[in-house]
Amino acid sequence: MTKLSVNINKVATLRNSRGGNVPNVLQFAKDVQRFGAEGVTIHPRPDERHIRYQDARDLKPEVFTEFNIEGNPVESFINLVMEVKPTQVTLVPDAVDAITSNAGWDTVKNKLFLIDVIKEFQNNGIRTSIFVDPDLKQIEGAKRTGTDRIELYTEAFAYQYSLGNKKAVKPYVVCAELANKLGLGVNAGHDLSLDNIAFFKNEIPGLLEVSIGHALIAESLYLGVENVIQMYLNRLK
C-alpha cells in the first residue's frame, strides 16, 4: 500500500490569516494521524507565510508516523532540518517568491551541490528525496547525487488527467520504472486529488508515498477531514 502523507501547510495559512492559533496546527497533525494518515508533511518557506520554522520544531514530538520536511536547501532550511531531524527531507528548488512548487531539480547541473547537501542529511540519519520532473535524464542524475528517493512532480499529469488525457501518466510510469531499476524509492506529489489518485497509484510501479495537501484540505471542507483521509487510504490500497 502506498503511504499517505498529509501536507498541512494550508492549515497554517488559515491560522496565519487571522492570527492566534485557530486552527491549531499541532492538533491537526495529531488528528490526521489518528484518522489513519501515515505521515505529516510541511513545507516551510523563508517568509513563513504558512508553516513557520517554530512549527517544525513544535511538530517533531507530535508526529508519531513519518515526518517529512520539504524545502529549498538554503542555509536556514538546512539548519532547521538538522535541528529537527525529521524522517525525511524533500529537496525542492523553490524560488523565494514562489506561490507553490513549480519545477523539479535539474539534477545534472546541480549535481555537486545536491551531493553535498544530501550527504550531510544522510550522515545525520535523515532519508532524502529530490523533487524532479518526469524526465529520464533527471532520474539518472538523481541517482548520481546519492539520494534515497525521488518525488515525481505531478502537476502536469493532474492537469492533463482533468482534461481526460490518461496517457499523460506514461512519462511518470517510465520514470518510476527507471527509478526502481536504479534502486531509488519513488514518491509523488502536487495536485494529486481524490479524482486522480487511484488511477495514478495503479499505474505507477513501486509508488511508496504520496504527499497531498491543497486538494485534501479543500475536499475536507465539504466531506470532513476524517472521511477524506479514509477515502484516500481506500484509493491507495
**Residue positions annotated with a catalytic role:** 43, 70, 190
The span from the CA of 219 to the CA of 210, in Å, is 16
Determine contact, residues 153/186, Cβ cutoff 8 Å. no
Burial 140-169 (b: 16+ CB within 10 A, else e): bbbbebebbbbbbbbbbbbeebeeeeeebb
| Residue at 154: amino acid letter | T
Determine contact, residues 149/109, Cβ cutoff 8 Å. no
H-type alpha helices, 125-213: 136-145, 155-162, 170-182, 197-203
